[in-house]
Amino acid sequence: MTGEGHVVVAALFGALIGSFLNVCIYRLPHRESIIHPRSRCPQCKATIAWYDNIPLLSFLWLRGRCRACRTRIAWRYPLVEALNAAGYGFIAWRFGMSPTALVYAVLLSALIVVSFIDMEHMIIPNVITYPGMALGLVAGMIILPRWWEGIVGFLLGGGYLYFMMVISPYLFKKEGMGMGDVKLLAMIGAIVGWELVIVVIILAASLGSIVGLTLIAIRKLGRRQLIPFGPYLCIGAVVAMLYGTEILDWYGALLSEGR
């Protein structure tokens, strides 16, 4: 199979997995089983037939409405499928069909689920982060150059946010990150290693600050109102796992030129 064929197959598989991710995003916050019962309309509870559950295509065919009750289907459903499909395709193009690509694909799907749940419910489910931390430590030993880098990334990522969570009430007079963010960054650090988890922290903090200040400036957010930090950690993780090495090389070159 050609390189382009790998990308197409990975993208199609990503779309199928994206359909399952939508089930996780909807059911996990409600503590429902992600296996049983079959997918159903959130409004009328009608079971969704297989031909109405084809990723992306069924949404277009149904014109964005439930076949049974004609309620609008949220744009989140095709968006998640498209993001996972594009992500799998890009990972296959970047890393080929390799163990690294497999680990990063699993991480990407977990990050998508976490992001959408955190944006809507302000929680990061332990059912994702606890297994993710354990699998991350094992996966880190497989894909990272040195076996201990994942362990250091795990400790550095989780330890940094835990420290910030403890001191933020004293610095800002309000709660900052939660334990969900701590466990999420520990999971990410276990997979990408200690160097790239620093990139994740910098990117997430910068993006979160820009978005937060912008929302305050346009009066869409109060100064003491909290925003979920998980999505910014997830975006930082995706950038770091795809281009983190190049970012570190670029920064190292800047430091060398400045000397």
User: Do 107 and 89 lie in a common domain?
Assistant: no
Q: pLDDT category, 61, cuts 50, 70, 90?
A: very high
How many angstroms separate the CA atoms of 181 and 128, rounded? Answer: 12
User: Do 127 and 223 lie in a common domain?
Assistant: yes
Q: pLDDT category, 258, cuts 50, 70, 90?
A: low
How many angstroms separate the CA atoms of 178 and 82, rounded? Answer: 29
> For residues 124 and 230, is the Cβ–Cβ distance under 8 A?
yes
Q: How confident is the model over 57-69, as a mean pLDDT?
A: 92
Look at residue 175 in the predicted model and tell me its pLDDT.
57
Answer with the residue of higher pLDDT: 153 or 165: 153
Q: pLDDT category, 2, cuts 50, 70, 90?
A: low
User: Do 62 and 119 lie in a common domain?
Assistant: no
Which residue, 57, 76, 97, sits at the end of a domain?
Answer: 97
Which residue, 30, 64, 97, sits at the end of a domain?
Answer: 97
Buried b (16+ CB within 10 A) or exposed e, 3-33: eeebbeebbebbbebbbbbbbbbbebbeeee
User: Do 58 and 139 lie in a common domain?
Assistant: no
User: Do 160 and 233 lie in a common domain?
Assistant: yes
94-137 tens-digit pLDDT = 999 999 999 999 999 999 999 999 999 999 999 999 999 999 99
User: Do 134 and 9 lie in a common domain?
Assistant: no
User: Do 157 and 241 lie in a common domain?
Assistant: yes
190-238 tens-digit pLDDT = 999 999 999 999 999 999 999 988 988 888 887 777 789 999 999 999 9
Count of structural domains, the chain? 2
User: Do 43 and 161 lie in a common domain?
Assistant: no
One-letter identity of residue 48: I
Q: Which domain holds residue 35?
A: 1-97
Which residue, 97, 126, 154, sits at the end of a domain?
Answer: 97
User: Do 257 and 184 lie in a common domain?
Assistant: yes
User: Do 88 and 124 lie in a common domain?
Assistant: no
User: Do 84 and 107 lie in a common domain?
Assistant: no
